[in-house]
Amino acid sequence: MAERKEIGIGMLGYGWMGKTHVNAFKTISYMHWDVSNYLPKLEMVGGRTEETGAKAAERLGFVRSCSGWDQIINDPGITVFDNVTP
């Protein structure tokens, strides 16, 4: 098996669609064989405030949180920016 490459996921938003995307990230490596060598890492989630971001990170399994999209896109650990806001 090839070495799995970690991909840092940064997600803005955390509601219904955020939960759906997190589920997809957590299951993609066994649902789709052609991308099984990539391992999504739930790196950062952004909320409206620091408090809501922290709650979302804890609930969804992200390593850390923030309160703005700019913090996500400027982070060198983020490979994929996922905007799940309306």
35-61 pLDDT, tens digit per residue, is 667 789 999 999 999 999 999 999 999
Euclidean distance between CA atoms 14 and 51, whole angstroms = 13
Other Cβ atoms less than 10 A from the Cβ of 2: the count is 6
What is the pLDDT of the chain when averaged over all its residues? 91
CB–CB of 45/18 below 8 Å?
yes
pLDDT tens track for 69-80: 999 999 999 999
Euclidean distance between CA atoms 1 and 16, whole angstroms = 34
pLDDT at 32: 67
pLDDT reading at 81 higher than 90: yes
CB–CB of 27/10 below 8 Å?
no
User: What pTM does this model have?
Assistant: 0.88
pLDDT at 36: 66
Helix (H) or strand (E) holding 6: strand 5-12
* Mean pLDDT (whole number) for 15-21: 95
Angle between helices 50-60 and 16-31 (to 10 degrees): 30
